[in-house]
């Protein structure tokens, strides 16, 4: 996936004064409210969103775990001063028993003197339980002097994560420009 030319020059750290992540859902979802039969099909999506500098140094992260059922999306929203990233991850169980994850990303970037640019991505990813996959909402970094947003996903059957809370979203830090580690 190639970046839009105006996005290539965007440096995440230079323009973002703060960044926060939160799990978004249209309705509160609790595995305790599942009807019999669906609880056995429920899955846990472990999501690690992070900003990585060109030297692979992690400068920010957020860890979330969400319980869902196949076909019901889990959303993540990253908000910065000049960027909004909205990602949805929807697990599906195929007839043959294999799992796939549909990853959708929407990005709004306000570039000075150019206005707001919009970009969208969608990928269907075959996925096994316990396998870690990576989603890059801004695409692959093409130059060595850019930071990137990286989202790591891992899916587990809910039954195997017995005792895990239904929603373990961590407190999301807000980074201000002068607080970003150098």
Q: How far is CA 133 from the centre of its chain?
A: 11
Residue 165: what pLDDT? 45
For 165, the 3-state DSSP assignment is: coil
b/e per residue 109-137 (b: at least 16 CB within 10 A) = bebeeeeebebebeeeeebeeeeebebbb
pLDDT in tens, 108-163: 999 899 999 999 999 999 999 999 999 888 877 666 667 788 899 999 998 766 54
Residue 162: what pLDDT? 55
In the chain the first and final C-alpha atoms are separated, in Å, by 29
Give me the residue spans of the domains in the chain.
5-173
| Closest CA relative to residue 133, chosen from 99, 167, 101, 169 | 101
Residue 63: what pLDDT? 93
């Amino acid at each position: 996936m190639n970046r839009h030319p105006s996005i290539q020059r965007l440096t995440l750290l230079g323009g973002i004064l703060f960044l926060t992540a939160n799990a978004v859902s249209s309705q509160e979802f609790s595995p305790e409210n599942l009807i019999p039969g669906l609880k056995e099909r429920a899955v846990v999506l472990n999501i690690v969103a992070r900003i990585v500098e060109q030297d692979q140094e992690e400068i920010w992260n957020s860890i979330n775990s969400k319980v869902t059922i196949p076909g019901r999306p889990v959303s993540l929203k990253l908000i910065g001063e000049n960027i909004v990233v909205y990602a949805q991850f929807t697990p599906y169980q195929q007839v043959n028993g294999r799992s796939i994850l549909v990853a959708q990303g929407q990005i709004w970037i306000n570039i000075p003197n150019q206005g707001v640019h919009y970009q969208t991505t969608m990928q269907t990813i075959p996925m096994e339980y316990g396998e870690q996959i990576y989603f890059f909402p801004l695409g692959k970094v093409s130059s060595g002097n850019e930071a990137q947003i990286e989202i790591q996903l891992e899916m587990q059957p809910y039954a195997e994560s017995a005792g895990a809370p239904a929603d373990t979203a961590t407190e999301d830090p807000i980074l201000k420009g002068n607080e970003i580690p150098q």
